[in-house]
Amino acid sequence: MTTAPASFDGSIKPAVLPRVVRDLWRARATGVLDLRKRDIGRLLVFQKGNIVFAATNQKNERLGERLVRAGKLKRSDLDLAFRVMERSNERIGRTVVDLGWLSPMEMQRFVATQIQDIVYSVFSWNEGHYRFEPSESDVTEELPLQIKTAEVIHEGARRISDFDAICAGIGRRDRALAFSGGKKLSIPVTLDDGHILSKVDGIRTIDEIVAASPLSEEDSLRRVYALLLAEVLIARNPDGSVDSGDDATASVRSRERQFRGSVKARHAALPLGDLYDRLGVDFGASEGQIRDGFEGAMAALEPEVAYRRDVADLEELLTTLKIKIREAYEILSVSETRARYDREFAHAAPGSTLAGEPGSLTEDTAAATEDDESARAELEYLEAQRLFDNGDYFDAVAALSVAVRLDPDNGYYHRQLGLWLSQNPGCWDTAEVHLEKAIAIDAEDVEARLGLAELHEDSEESDRADQLYREVLRIEPSNITAREKLASHAS
């Protein structure tokens, strides 16, 4: 378990609390943040950096009162729930669910909304006192929550009205903005965010990006501040350094060093072990152990958000390890290929290059697995599609990018990657490159043309869009989308 930071406290000043919450999230802290402003009190409960519960001493803001106002409970129901709570020592949310008045999912939404509202309200405080008390044990959650701390930080920071505090929080504006380096964006990107993100290249400074933004200076800086706090962006000093500002820097750096050492050791061990070693399981492991080993091995390769940007140089090693681990799982998770592997290689002589050639079930199939880039690319594509179907957009883009790198002449991969990237305004330029590559590979690719046309429409380049729609009709005269688009533009 991650070591919790020591208890700390301080005075609340403008824009202080967003940074405190961000620091606890970075440090994956577990404990309670107690917030006081005159007679108003708030509690935020953290578990491994995630906000899992919030409480207030203001009666009208409590969960029970919110349920009554929303018409989910009668006043008499709430009174009965309180009497039950006195005997059970359960919280109000669990009590109401146990009594059958709300479903767990419906209660989950109310609790998540309450937490968000409480956090957003304290982010605007510019006076008071805060104190964090760590806990050595995990907090028992009342109900499983679907709430992302990064989203709360981003939205809460965006609501700060004190412009001077925002400017102070951003600091020097001659620093260059860059993406944090993580493959998974922790927040949904809005169109206004896209105005900022589309101009981030690691070279332009905050001032230059704000000047080029169609938003007002105040709105642009507010977006920059929120994106910095949510770890989407980092600001680099002219010498390339990044000011952490993290109260738990020593702990984070220690975990980063451990992660680096683990990745390098795993990579160095690839030629020395077999497929079972890659998953960390014994020969003869059950199907469940194989699956658990795969999931655990992949999870161990995901850096924490607190230091993700600082291990970008490990990307090539991480990609190789993930491919090798997935190859091992693909073979060992299927009884036929596993039995074949065991027969061929279970007694391989010491010093063999078995682990370096994991896909080779025989010498004749070596080129079709380990050396066959297209087969490995197909595995990455299948994983990307699974991630996308599960809503893991940025992980899906990362996996599909690997497939494109492994099989650069596959137009379908380029087209799919371009269509996914076009959903994010910050990636429009890259999306255009991949869609054009798909068309270059397959001159009859209608879907790539339609995607590229829509991208040009979003960029207000209607002439280029219409040209592509006409090309679609040349290839497929009955295409309804192209006809309707051209007709709407002509009217």
| 171 shares a domain with 129 | no
In a domain, 243, yes or no: no
Residue with tokens 């080029």: 212
Residue 454 belongs to domain with CATH number? 1.25.40.10
| 93 shares a domain with 211 | no
In a domain, 363, yes or no: yes
In a domain, 144, yes or no: no
In a domain, 128, yes or no: yes
Domain end among 176, 208, 236: 236
In a domain, 1, yes or no: no
| 131 shares a domain with 27 | yes
The amino acid at 131: R
Phi first, then psi: what are they for 428, rounded to 5°?
-60, -40
Q: Residue 376: in which H helix or E strand, if any?
A: helix 373-389
Domain end among 211, 236, 261: 236
Low-confidence stretches of the chain (pLDDT < 70) are 1-7, 87-89, 137-147, 181-189, 239-255, 272, 304-309, 345-375, 394, 426, 491
| 253 shares a domain with 187 | no
Strands 129-134, 176-179: pairing kind: unpaired
User: What residue numbers bound the domain in which 222 lies?
Assistant: 162-236
Domain end among 341, 371, 401: 371
Local structure of 233: helix, strand or coil: strand
| 111 shares a domain with 48 | yes
Q: Which two tokens stand for residue 200?
A: 């981030």
Q: Residue 34: in which H helix or E strand, if any?
A: strand 31-37
In a domain, 395, yes or no: no
In a domain, 388, yes or no: no
| 448 shares a domain with 420 | yes
User: Could you give the count of Cα atoms lying within 13 Å of 104 in the half-sphere of its Cβ?
Assistant: 7
| 49 shares a domain with 15 | yes
| 259 shares a domain with 223 | no
Phi first, then psi: what are they for 131, rounded to 5°?
-150, 130
List, in order, residues 6 or more apart from 309 with CB less than 8 Å away.
Answer: 180, 181, 182, 231, 234, 242
Tell me what pLDDT residue 140 has.
Answer: 53
| 135 shares a domain with 23 | yes
Cα angle for residues 133, 311, 7 (degrees, 5° grid): 10
Q: Which two tokens stand for residue 240?
A: 């390339």
Left if phi > 0, otherwise alpha if psi is -120 to 50, otherwise beta: which for 316?
alpha
Instruction: Report the domain count for the chain.
Output: 4
In a domain, 424, yes or no: yes
Local structure of 375: helix, strand or coil: helix
| 45 shares a domain with 133 | yes
| 306 shares a domain with 229 | no
Distances in Å between the alpha carbon of 17 and those of 77, 88, 165? 36, 34, 11
| 30 shares a domain with 106 | yes
Q: 182-236 pLDDT, tens per residue? A: 434 556 667 788 888 888 888 889 999 999 999 899 999 988 988 888 878 888 8
